[in-house]
Amino acid sequence: MNSKLFSPLTIKSITLKNRISISPMCQYSATDGFASDWHLVHYGSRAVGGAALIIQEATAISPEGRITPADLGLYHDEHIEKLRQITSFIHQQGAVAGIQLAHAGRKASCAIPWNGGNQLNLSEGGWQTLAPSAIAFNPEDDAPIALDQAGIKKIINDFNLAAERALKAGYQAIEIHAAHGYLIHQFLSPLSNRRTDEYGGSFENRIRILLEVVESVQRVWPQNLPLLVRISATDWVENGWNAEETIKLSAVLKKLGVDLIDCSTGGLVPHVKIPVAPGYQVAFAERIKNETGILTGAVGLITDARQAEAILDNNRADLVLIARASLRDPQFALHAAHVLEEDVAWPVQYVRAKP
């Protein structure tokens, strides 16, 4: 069988050996942004497990950009050494190491999920949050400070510096996080962006910071390496960011040189009713792909090989991103190949267990 899931995908100078990517998922296991052996084993095992692209979890561009005090960061040169060990191991397994660069905005300064996930105040080790407008995510949260022009310029420059460090650390793909209610998404959506300057109001103004971040990253990121953007295609709320705006933005990003849109949804406001079901976000990847021609990645309750194969076979996306299914099964890709009767190379250390 010649499955689409196990066909290669070339993005600029990088060829992925298959169409399976590990979606960025926070591990909340860092100290002051520094990666640990947990990250080496976590990402390394999924590279051993046959995925073609491993995208590292949301990695903060500044200390105040972390979701929690236990988030990974790339705001010190000293962060590079351990990350280089991780990327080196991933590449030794024939996979590509990618990194998601992020700033949490008003959703920063929170406890790690297994400690409740609530916003931390200063006495609890938290910090002042930042956002396009002084509107809290939860009513009980302290309001963020609305960024001034100098603050916006600093964030754009922090993305630039983090991208430069990512290159030194050995990553071969960058994903800019503009989804899930974090800072850039907060600028995109009129629900969280009430600004009256050039960064608020019209569609062109609300997307401005993302375009400036992309251009800032491109100044240091090689033109021959992939640049991805993760977008929440809809807020699932009336008068919020929506699919039509996502398609317009994707077309702009394509012209700017972005290679792939990683299509997620939601996260901007709490207590939203989302029609969760297997593959519930795939339709957005399909629309963006068909209406703009840019490569897209599909994510969201994609849990088995045949489901992933059908998405690609029906030309609904170019890449599938596996999240929770890969937490349950680090060898998701190897097992998917067996289900689809594809004979793929296994790590030589594991060949004796190959079906």
Secondary structure letter of residue 22 according to DSSP: E
Asked about 171 being catalytic, the answer comes back as no
* Dihedral sign of CA atoms 318, 321, 325, 330 in order: positive
How far apart (Å, rounded) are the C-alpha atoms in residues 97 and 85? 11
How far apart (Å, rounded) are the C-alpha atoms in residues 251 and 108? 30
How far apart (Å, rounded) are the C-alpha atoms in residues 40 and 284? 33
Beta strands in 77-216 (DSSP E): 96-102, 130-131, 145-146, 173-178
> How many Cα atoms are found within 13 Å in the side-chain-facing hemisphere of 160?
15
How far apart (Å, rounded) are the C-alpha atoms in residues 14 and 12? 6
Of 43, 75, 182, 199, the catalytic one is: 182
Could you tell me which residues come within 8 angstroms of residue 238 by beta carbon, excluding any fewer than 6 positions away? none
Q: Catalytic amino acids?
A: 182
